[in-house]
Structure 1
Amino acid sequence: MIRIEDTDRVRILTLDRPDALNAFNEALYDATCEALIDAAADPGVAVVVITGTGRAFSAGTDLVEMAQRNSGTFANGKHGFPGMVDQLAVFPKPLILAMNGLGLGIGATIIGFADLVFMSTDARIKCPFTSLGVAPEAASSYTFPALIGRQKAAWVLLSSEWIGAAECVELGLAFKAVAPDDLMPETLRHAKILAAKSVASLVESKRVLLGALGDQLDQARARENEAFRVLLGGPANIEALTAFAERRDPDFAAVDAKATTPNPDAAS
């Protein structure tokens, strides 16, 4: 589910569901959350690196479990998505991503909580929220405009289009794009430079950096949670998940047309 390795005060967390493209089910959300809690409390850990196994960094939330949530047969984990995002938002030590492959959903919006992002030149991201009939998540409605500006963030968050590694660097979503074989060596080279510093200094430096955000992250997440409450399980979301299961493109125009068609019974 998740592999943990320590080297020179750097803790590497490797998402390990390659058959599911490292998609986050409740078990992986819980395991990652617990790993972040442990790393934050461990005085021997100065820096954390998150990467993935196989050809994906993470395909985001497991759509099978999303469909189960809509059907009422879903069992929440101990921490789940909200708990993991809580830990990302308050993680006190430098957090680095080594994005080895595709990142969708939380596999992309996690960028907003990272202090440094390295991407394989083969990697690409997608924020697929509008293609799933839902809304942005994980405070990305705040973090992405803060990182890259409103118009660029609007395209990334609203288009559900793929964004390649080179474009992520150009936009400001990633620090560097490197050849696949160089991804972990280059990431760890930077991580070990940071890890050689005082942990107390790193923590306080990150604290003052994040302090400038104030309560903007919490406010963004509250707005996003309300949008998800309205949209999750709604007609567009059901059409998107049905289309995914049937291996076809969703027909949102038909959903929208049905929503705006007057109900003849309503007038009687």
Structure 2
Amino acid sequence: MTDHDGDGDGCVLVEDHGAVRVLTLNRPEKRNAIDLVLRVALAERLESAMADDSVRAIVLTGSGGTFCSGGDISTMRRQSPEETRPRAEAAQRVIRAIWGGPTPVVAAVEGFAYGAGAALALACDRVVAATDARFSTAFTGVGLAGDMGITVSLPARTGPAAARQLLLLPRPIQGPEACTLGLADVLTEPGAAFDWALSDAERIAEGPPLALSAIRAMLGVAPADDPRAALDREVEHQIRLFDTADFAEGVAAFHERRRPEFKGR
């Protein structure tokens, strides 16, 4: 794969398969955890793909046998709302690019799709998952409530009651149950998710682009609400929670490999 935009960091790889653009999260040593550099690069590449008339469908996947393990906790610390806002807005920029653009996006999920990784997959139009893939909201483990559109995309897929339970009581959900709940649209054998997703994207790319764009615009993610307003709400909660003792405790517990003790402050 080649990095079309040539910034040299290589954290998002870009490859064209005819009218399908493949974007690959490329931090395999971190299970493709999302740091600030990756979220900015991914947003830029999504925006570029959405603006390119020759790109008729996008596949989003991860390198090293996993989709995305979530936000990179090693880069997180307690900080002020002023420091957190740019970080939170950068994450939402990725989802704004997916939801606001004209081009359908297919997620190919192998391995982990945890936290922000689950939110990223669920923001897509179609989710192809391997039977041994594992999804989890996981945000509360570090004292956070969730971002990257998950408060919209999760209930849109599972229904509000199931979404509430999955956010309040996060747990690993393997491919078959994920498909039953609506987190995934189709299951493949392990290792086959990308090929299936690419095939689906190629079929989509053969369709009428203006009609497909209109379908995305009319359906949106959650017809009863403006998805972009939900992204704004998530940012406000995220910047508040980053400046709490509970968040600091969650990050410390992660590094120390112990169960966090949250105090509500």
TM-score normalised by L of structure 2 = 0.88
Contact kept in structure 2, 1:10 and 1:49, CA below 8 Å = yes
Q: Is the contact made by 2:108 and 2:128 (CA closer than 8 Å) also made in structure 1?
A: yes
Cα separation, 2, equivalents of 1:75 and 1:66: 13
Letter in 2 for 1:195: A
Equivalent residue number for residue 215 of structure 2 = 205
Report percent identity of matched pairs. Answer: 30
Give the C-alpha shift of residue 66 in structure 1.
1.6
- Following superposition, the deviation at residue 169 of structure 1 comes to 0.4
Q: 1:42 pairs with 41, 52, 59, which one?
A: 52
Q: Distance in 2 between matches of 1:116 and 1:231?
A: 31
State the match for 2:201 in structure 1. Answer: 191
> TM-score, normalising length from structure 1?
0.87
Higher relative contact order (CA 8 A, sep 6+): 2
Matches within 5 A, 1:1-268: 1-67=11-77, 69=79, 80-210=90-220, 213=223, 215-252=225-262, 255-256=263-264
Which has the larger displacement, 96-105 or 132-141? 132-141
Runs of 4+ in 1 over 6 A off after TM superposition: 70-75
Shift of the alpha carbon at 1:233? 2.5
Q: Could you tell me which runs of 5 or more consecutive residues in structure 2 were left unpaired when the two chains were aligned.
A: 1-10
**Cα gap change, 1:199/1:38 in structure 2, threshold over 3 Å: closer, same or farther?**
same
CA deviation vs aligned residue, 1:83-129 (integer Å, no higher than 9, x gap): 22221221221110001110111100123321110001121111112
Cα distance between partner residues in 1 of 2:34 and 2:106: 19
Distance 2:154 2:39 in 1: 22
Deviation at 1:226, TM superposition (A): 2.5
The 1:212–1:227 alpha-carbon spacing in structure 2 relative to 1, beyond 3 Å, is closer
RMSD: 2.4
The structural deviation recorded for 1:191 is 1.1
- How far apart, in 1, do the equivalents of 2:57 and 2:108 lie? 13
Aligned residues: 255
Task: Give the superposition deviation at 1:76.
Answer: 5.2
Q: Distance in 2 between matches of 1:127 and 1:65?
A: 19
Q: Give 1 or 2 for the bigger CA radius of gyration.
A: 1
Larger % of helix: which? Answer: 1
User: Displacement of 1:146 after TM fit?
Assistant: 2.0
